[in-house]
Amino acid sequence: MRILGIDPGIAIVGFGFIDKQGSKCVPVQYGCIQTEAHTPDEERLLHVYEAMVQLIDKYKPDAVAFEKLFFNRNVSTAMPVSQARGVLILAAHQKGLPIGEYTPMQVKQAIVGYGKAEKKQVQEMVRMFLKLQAIPKPDDVADALAVAICHAHSSTLNSKLNEVLRK
């Protein structure tokens, strides 16, 4: 199962493709989509959308996982980031991909085992889970990979629960 994890943003969209092979997660490709500051939002959104469609077409994920938006400090970025998240969801939906959504606390719980873990702890666990030489940069990329790993763990649990409930 190939999973695309996304950390939405307007300036930087982190993405990470992983393959779930049994209980292991193997990195396929990861990086970020960046848009230029002082560019009109509609141009930035179009760039984010088109870049995501190209990535989906190239790496052909089976599912997409998003980090749910949480704004506790910089509320002024909420609208543009929400718009970017919308075009990213649109890109995934148009390709017929199932979408999972996870709060930052759910991701931290899945990766570190503690929902209030520090960002550095999550990043180090992502590096260890995926057997990477270094923590992916910028932070948005590590966050996207964490979301993909969270979905891999959650999809296993959810499918087992569904099996039990069907019996």
Q: Give residue for tokens 């939002």.
A: 41
Q: Which of 19, 140, 143, 163 is catalytic?
A: 140
DSSP 91-155: HHHHTT--EEEE-HHHHHHHHHS-TT--HHHHHHHHHHHTT-SS--SSHHHHHHHHHHHHHHHHH
Q: Is 140 a catalytic residue?
A: yes
Q: Give residue for tokens 């979905």.
A: 151
Q: Is 36 a catalytic residue?
A: no
Q: Is 7 annotated as a binding residue?
A: yes
Q: Is 124 a catalytic residue?
A: no
Please list the residues that pair with 24 across neighbouring strands.
21
Q: Measured between alpha carbons, how far is 74 from 55 in angstroms, rounded to an integer?
A: 29
> And the tokens for 107?
């991701």
Q: Which of 62, 67, 143, 163 is catalytic?
A: 67
Q: Is 140 annotated as a binding residue?
A: yes
The residues assigned a catalytic role are 7, 67, 140
Question: Binding-site residues for Mg(2+), please?
Answer: 7, 67, 140
Question: Binding-site residues, please?
Answer: 7, 67, 140
